[in-house]
Amino acid sequence: MTQPVRVDVLSEDKAMVIFQPSGSRGEVPKGISVIEASRLLGVDIETLCGEEKVCGKCVVRIEEGQFEKYGIQSSLSHVSPWQEEEEKFITPEYREKGCRLGCVARVEGDILVFVPEASRAGKQIVSKAARDIFIEHNPAIKLYYVEVDPPSFEDPTGDFERVCRGIERDYGLNNLTIDIFALRQLPGALRDGKWTVTVSVWNGREVIRVRPGKQEHNYGLAIDVGTTTVAAYFCDLTTMDVVDTVSMMNPQCKYGEDVMSRITYHMNNPDGLQRMSDDIIEGINELVDKAIGNTFPPKKKKKKGAEGPDKYVEDPGEGKTYLRLAREDIEDVTIGFNTAMHHIFLALDPKHVGRAPFPPVIHHSLDIKARDLGIKINPSSYMFVLPIEAGFVGADNVGVLIAEEPYKQEENQLIIDIGTNGELVLGNRHKLISSSCATGPALEGAQIACGMRAAPGAIERIEIDPETREVDYKVIGRDAWRKFSKPEEMKARGICGSGILDLLAELYRAGVVDKSGAFNKKALEGHARFRINPATNQPEFVLAWCEDSSIDKDIVVTQKDIRQIQLAKGALYAGCKLMVKRMGLDRVDKVKIAGAFGTHVDRTKALTMGLFPDCEIEMIESVGNAAGDGCRAALLNIEKRKEANWCSRNVEYIELTIEESFQKEFVEALQLPHMTDKFPHLKGIVPDDILNQ
């Protein structure tokens, strides 16, 4: 961090860039944007729009006159000239201070860049615990222990055929093949194990690992790659135990918050696809290391003298035994994602998935050697990539399906997976249809003025007093609500998905906005929190004052934000309604909400706001990380993989936007609250005067 900068060795085509407060520094080619420089130097800056110059999230400050202490000359002239697009996001006052959009300003000489708190991509802690779901034990990788005779002049049969003969004799399994990497282990393992080995067989046909002696455990990972977060269940394939749950932020977030931004990034950068693919693969490798890096108490103590693959080591400090595993102990991986992320991970051109009629490159599941993707687990292992339903209904949705199994029920279930796109499945054992609706990322906190991911400092709960219209709120990372805290304790940075639904309900309940979503200007006149933003000429409502925030400005909701949220819930509602209609139903028997949004959402408020159609409130169920559970089911039971492929081709995909009545339904659904007239028990929640507007 504090090494002297060797200005003398800089070539003419390169410039030194130092990012503060992280201190990251290095030479970069001249001419690249500050955002590109930040990537090269490992600095995370928010870029919700994929560098389309439209989100304004990537404001940075180019420091002037402070460079001398680092031994280099610098000035504002070391970046490319100011551009019109920046005016929308940076006031003249901030421009004066050296603020620029990171995606616009290009490095033209040595610069020191300060990244304000508001522009830093949050390093979020994500934790997705495994739910208890029933899975039959039938993993793709099974262990076979065999004892064979050593070769002799009478029987000089080769090692592999010798072992195969033993496996056929003891287990009736024949016609095995063997991966070349596993074959390399065979002669040593056979002799180390004194002519006994344990072989790991994939899918009843390919040997992918050979270990000496008798081995009783092997491991696998079920990975659920979300647009924002990546979570993996680390499972013992023999006992089915979830040994650990590990997760991380999706490292691709730096290329854009939503999948369309990333597709755009690919289309604008020749190496964009490769870079994004490399990043998620590197991320998954980190996840693998995290999983195996965690030591944990073994289920049972290792028997004295037992030969075994597992490396129990004595912890001299505590006298306990711990199980330590290596990358090669991970013998199987299942992985699911939405279609765009699936394509980017596999380096398949995602362009067509982003264009009507949105055909994916492939639907069917793939068994790919992990080594072919650069995933560092056992070198002979396969990854099972869950199949895709459609361009906007991905493998993650297939995961949800095989976890929830609506195709085995008589009752009609509506399963909603809310992310940047809402993915919808409706039906029962007789028929299943799926669709997606372009909710936009508003429900995830993106593309709204103060939206952010569910990271520390994000407002996740809001209450607005209907009398005073004063706001109380709480942020992630602090248990106490605002009214029990000092302003400087809040450190609010923005508002996240679960806060947004609260916000809409509260704005409406408190009469800040009316049924159409417009600010109730008459009622708000003279209110301290309501104002017209002089820069945008847009009305906005202050949720948290500057003194409460760590980003040095008021956190507000604008009229445009409210429209975004309305569009999201309208799209979701209209989508659900059209699907119900298409199935010839009046209402559904059960609504299941998958994903993090489902876990945190207030069911009553969701119904009030009209997120989905008519349903008894008690029939609404949050099913947590069902996509991840589906990946886990596929990891532990090979039949679930067949089921997944069956789902991907037998769930009928319906493109809602081309339905005749979509537009009408959608516009109707923009209204708030949508359903209260049909739900008398909700009446108390919304004041009558508002409800009867």
Q: In what helix (H) or strand (E) does residue 105 lie, and over which residues does it extend?
A: none
Is the preceding omega at residue 21 within 30 degrees of 0, hence cis? Answer: yes
CA angle 577, 578, 581 (to 5 degrees): 90
Least Å from the CB of residue 478 to its own copies: 46
CB-nearer residue toward its own copies: 360 or 595: 360
Spatial contact of 592 and 413, defined as CB atoms under 8 Å apart: yes
* Choice between 322 and 653, CB closer to its own copies: 653
CB of 395 or CB of 464, closer to its own copies: 395
Helices and strands, number each (H, E), in the chain: 20, 29
Minimum Å gap between C-beta 183 and its own copies is: 6
User: Which residue number, 161 or 488, has a Cβ lying nearer to its own copies?
Assistant: 161
Kindly give the interhelix angle for 559-582 and 497-509, rounded to the nearest 10 degrees.
100
DSSP 8-state class, residue 466: T
Give the shortest CB-164-to-its own copies separation in angstroms.
9
Q: How far is CA 162 from CA 159, 169, 183, 202, in A?
A: 5, 11, 13, 19
| Beta carbon of residue 307, minimum distance to its own copies (angstroms, whole number) | 21
- CA-based nearest residue to 400, from 253, 560, 224: 224
Are 570 and 559 in contact by the 8 Å Cβ rule? The answer is no
Output the smallest distance, CB 111 to its own copies, in A.
Answer: 36
Q: Which is nearer to its own copies, 207 or 636 (CB)?
A: 207
Nearer to its own copies by C-beta: 1 or 658?
A: 658
Q: Least Å distance between CB 250 and its own copies?
A: 21
Residue the block writes with tokens 């680390």:
234
Task: Report in angstroms how near the CB of residue 68 gets to its own copies at its nearest.
Answer: 36
- Whichever of 142 and 162 has its CB closer to its own copies, that residue is 162
Residue 690: both structure tokens together = 């508002």
Give, in degrees to the nearest 5, the angle at Cα 441 between 437 and 444.
115
Q: Which is nearer to its own copies, 152 or 537 (CB)?
A: 152
240 or 366: CB nearest its own copies: 366
**Which residue, 56, 68, 65, 64, is CA-closest to 100?**
56
Paired strand residues for 45: 120
- Class of residue 232 by CB neighbours under 10 A (exposed 0-12, middle 13-18, buried 19+): buried
Indicate the residue among 187 and 297 with the shorter CB distance to its own copies: 187
- The Cα 441–Cα 448 span in angstroms is 9
Q: How far is the CB of 546 from its own copies (least distance, A)?
A: 49
In the complex with its own copies, the residue whose CB is nearer, 30 or 363, is: 363
Beta bridge partners of 231: 224, 247
> Is 371 or 527 the residue whose CB approaches its own copies more closely?
371
Going across the sheet that includes 652-653, the strands are: 620-624, 590-594, 413-418, 422-428, 431-437, 652-653
Q: What's the min distance (Å) between Cβ of 286 and its own copies?
A: 22
Please, what sign has the CA dihedral across residues 569, 571, 572, 574? positive
> Cβ neighbours of residue 680 under 8 Å, at least 6 residues apart?
none
Rg of the chain (C-alpha set): 28
Enumerate binding residues for its own copies (CB under 8 A): 151-153, 156-162, 177-178, 180-181, 183-184, 186-188, 346-349, 351-352, 356-364, 366-369, 371-373, 388, 390-391, 649, 653, 655, 658
Tell me the closest approach of the beta carbon of residue 361 to its own copies, in angstroms.
Answer: 5
Query: How near is the Cβ of 310 to its own copies at its closest, in Å?
Result: 25
Please give the single-letter amino acid code of residue 385: V
Residues 364 and 48: their CA atoms lie apart, in Å, by 31
DSSP E strand stretches across 270-393: 311-314, 321-324, 330-337, 366-369, 382-385
231 vs 386, which CB is nearer to its own copies? 386
3-state secondary structure of 171: helix
Joined together, the tokens standing for residue 533 give: 């933003």
Query: What H or E segment, with its residue span, contains residue 690?
Result: helix 688-691
Please report how close the Cβ of residue 269 comes to its own copies at its closest, in angstroms: 17
CB of 182 to its own copies, least distance (A): 11
Token pair in block for residue 622: 């949050």
User: Terminus-to-terminus CA distance in the chain, angstroms?
Assistant: 61
Q: Least distance (Å) from its own copies to the CB of residue 201?
A: 16
* 159 vs 258 by CB, closer to its own copies: 159
